[in-house]
Structure 1
Amino acid sequence: MTPLPNDIVDKATFDQLLEMDEDACYPYYSTACLPLTLERRFEPGFSQGLVENFFQQAEGTLKEIQVSLQQRDLNALSRQGHFLKGSAAALGIVKVKLCFEKIQYLGQGKDEFGQGTSDPNVALQRIAALISDVNRHLAEAKLAFQAFYGA
């Protein structure tokens, strides 16, 4: 088991999820170290299920985002960005959350920081560029979680 890098996952947020795991002990996360039984040591916990669901959810929603980009549907892009921003934030996946937050704002006609306004054509171009960042950060986070859970 490898600790999760701080630049990928917010430890305080993820610690809260680890506390919900039953009979699990993660040596790098002392607040979530509960007694282990040998039989349950390698069973996936609640947190691992949430993480796996997030990556499946992200994959499906990224396909929807591609369709929304082709249709130039900024409202849908804002909703999709908001949806995945919330899911990433709940797990503490920092870089992914920030990318989806930018997509949400751009879809709302604002700049990437939620201020002012953005030209729709520029917003669509910027969202398309952000997708490569999202894919890179998702892959990075997925590898970190696989190392953490020993998958």
Structure 2
Amino acid sequence: MSTADSTPYDMEKAAESVINMATFEQLLEMDDDEDDLEFIKSLVDTFHEQAMSTFADMDTKLAAKDLDALSRLGHFLKGSSASVGLRKVPMTCGRIQNYGHLKDDSGVKAIVDTDALQRIAEAIVQLKGEYAEADEFFKNFFDADA
């Protein structure tokens, strides 16, 4: 599979920036059948469904300006994305979680709700891009395995 600019997909480069390979390799080791990787595929598929649903919920809650719900959604996706070995997504979700609690990136300094909503809107765009990178990694990983 190639990226949009027709450059061959570089699994090693993607693994360095997108995936925590130590976590991902632990998941791979848990699979009973190294030939079909059904366990890890099912985890990734479940995560994909959760991510798509969470993105839709985030868009809805952002429109409703529901900071508490956005914080909870960030927290939820942070945990599930870390469990499949993603690097960037959990960090961005952590920021969304902080913003929903009216805190800055670090979770220490207070911010106002209008600032929090703007930051969350920007973070959601970033989050969806980071997820797309991870999704591409998983598709290439499992296609290479086939």
Query: What is the TM-score when the length of structure 2 is the normalising length?
Result: 0.86
Deviation at 1:47, TM superposition (A): 1.1
Tell me which residue corresponds to 2:77: 84
Tell me which residue corresponds to 1:12: 22
From the two aligned structures, give the one with the greater helix fraction: 2
Letter in 1 for 2:92: C
Tell me which residue corresponds to 2:86: 93
Aligned partners of 1:134 and 1:61: how far apart in 2? Answer: 11
- Which one of 123, 137, 140 corresponds to residue 133 of structure 2? 140
Q: Which runs of 4+ in 1 moved over 4 A?
A: none
Letter in 1 for 2:55: L
After superposition, give the CA deviation of every residue in 1:98-151 in whole Å (9 maximum; x if it has no partner). Answer: 111100010011111211111110000010011111111111110111111117
Identity %: 41
Unaligned 5+ runs, structure 2: 1-10
Query: What is the TM-score when the length of structure 1 is the normalising length?
Result: 0.83
Deviation at 1:44, TM superposition (A): 4.1
- The aligned runs of 1:53-132 (5 Å cut-off) are 53-132=46-125
Aligned partners of 1:51 and 1:94: how far apart in 2? Answer: 15
Unaligned 5+ runs, structure 1: 25-40
Greater C-alpha Rg: 1
RMSD: 1.3
